[in-house]
Structure 1
């Protein structure tokens, strides 16, 4: 031996790294293993906590969606329509009430909503083939009259029945556009009639708010113009016009004024006074329990009147005037 002393042994972990990568790896391997286990567990735990928290917030803000509430149960302070629809789509809930401006607009566009109007197109194009049926007598309260007649026509053969049904169809459309329920006594769908007592009964059963019977006159050719016929007071048998005379008169005056302005047709100079006539011998008026008037739109035997009534544009103006008069009456 040369005389050197052997140093005491040193524990391996006491050695410095001295830049040796193998030593660094050996030293940190236990910590890395521990982190690889602990960190994923912590991450999973944190994500689970977040999911629970979010779910709790959702239930708090939308109580109707909580599984604690059965479908249809009401949650205090909550509108049950807020809950999802059963098929997963959003529920619209009850319709919100219309704003005052929307209600005013609807009332302006459909002023006759909730009203019922009877339109009675005079005669029937098939009446001439059913003379036995239309000549049958019916009770009109203060007497008896034929069930119906054939009506008149122009010299060119344009019949009153064709004219009245066309004007009624045009007026019906206008009234329906304004919200009215329109009932017709016949719509060209019957072989003849109906009789005058049935025409009145149809309006009564419909509880019409107003009724107008459309006609054209067959007076001597020298007479021209239109006139409105209103019911007289008749209380006899099945007839009782006491309750409808006054409102019918108001409707008649409105129709006279509106028709004259709307069509340019003059009031008749051969019958009535200033375009108005009152009669108690017409079954369609005597038997009516609702306000009702007749209008003879012109004299088909007069050349000038016949030309106007044969013109579709004039008939449209006539229909407009009838509808406007009814609208004024029902909204006034």
Structure 2
């Protein structure tokens, strides 16, 4: 109604004919783009629309309450490993499982807001739960042909002055990971760049010093058929990094860095 009133006023001011007035008033107010001889509405598309991403929050809060279950050997890519572990914690007792869960949920929300379909490998962080095992985590994403899988952890090094993040990828190892080794390394580099862009530093206690680590002993990586990486977001035994991990602002900064890396990898 407001548009038509403005057009009418213009017509009266500049002396447009009623036929011209009617044509102007009939035009839609929505943004338009030319398409051939006709017009089409502009459609906005979320940047990650159509993408499927698996987020793996490391461990489970209640793992320590179920030693028989988490110590059971499971396939890990040509060998067996215990189903899971308890994870580490800060010196103040803040568990890795809780940190990974809280960061993973922030990452999942941001990715969904960008249009992605996001699957989590676990759906709770509770003392009366355990697992899932590393073989289930490793295969998560295979059946749904996910674009990538990112496993979120934190480290617990007692090395003096140990701090910083590092990203772990599988090697080129047939018949397990030879098909995903190259894209997984691209994912790792993108995640590294995203975290550096959020002002996090690479680990000073990992060989190579570039924040990247290649390991063949992790079932979570070995059993994946989609590009995958595991990120140790920092050293929970470092007092400085523990302060960041235990703060909502710090966890939000980790999430921003991870999402930036995912977006970079997906282009």
TM-score, with structure 2 as normaliser: 0.81
- Find the partner of 1:150 among 86, 89, 96: 86
Aligned partner of 2:164 in structure 1 is 225
Aligned-partner SS, 2:142: helix
Tell me if structure 2 keeps the 8 A contact 1:141–1:235: no
CA contact (8 A) 2:171 2:215 kept: yes
2:130 matches 1:195: no
How far apart, in 1, do the equivalents of 2:240 and 2:42 lie? 46
Question: What is residue 214 of structure 1 aligned with on the other side?
Answer: 152
Give the alignment partner of residue 102 of structure 1, picking from 42, 59, 80: 42
Greater Rg by CA: 1
State how far apart, in whole Å, the 2-side matches of 1:114 and 1:164 are.
25
State the number of aligned residues: 226
Q: Give CA deviations for 1:87-145 in whole Å, capped at 9, x if unaligned.
A: xxxxxxxxxx9x77723xx23xx111010000000000010101110001112123211
Alignment deviations for residues 32-67 of structure 1 (CA, whole Å, 9 cap, x no partner): xxxxxxxxxxxxxxxxxxxxxxxxxxxxxxxxxxxx
CA displacement 1:195-223 (0-9 Å, x = unmatched): 00001222212211011000000111521
SS of the residue 2:232 aligns to: strand
Q: C-alpha distance in 2, partners of 1:292/1:102? A: 35
Contact map agreement 2:54 2:148 (CA 8 A) in 1 = yes
User: Matched residues in 1 for 2:255 and 2:106: separation?
Assistant: 6
**Structure 2: gaps (5+ residues):** 1-34
d(CA) in 2 for partners of 1:137 and 1:256? 32
Q: Which of 237, 260, 269 is 2:204 aligned to?
A: 269
- Higher strand residue share: 2
How far apart are residue 154 of structure 1 and its match?
A: 0.3
**Unaligned regions of 5+ residues in structure 1, if any?**
1-96
TM-score, length-scaled by structure 1: 0.66
Of the two structures, which has the highest relative contact order with CA contacts closer than 8 Å and spacing of 6 or more?
2
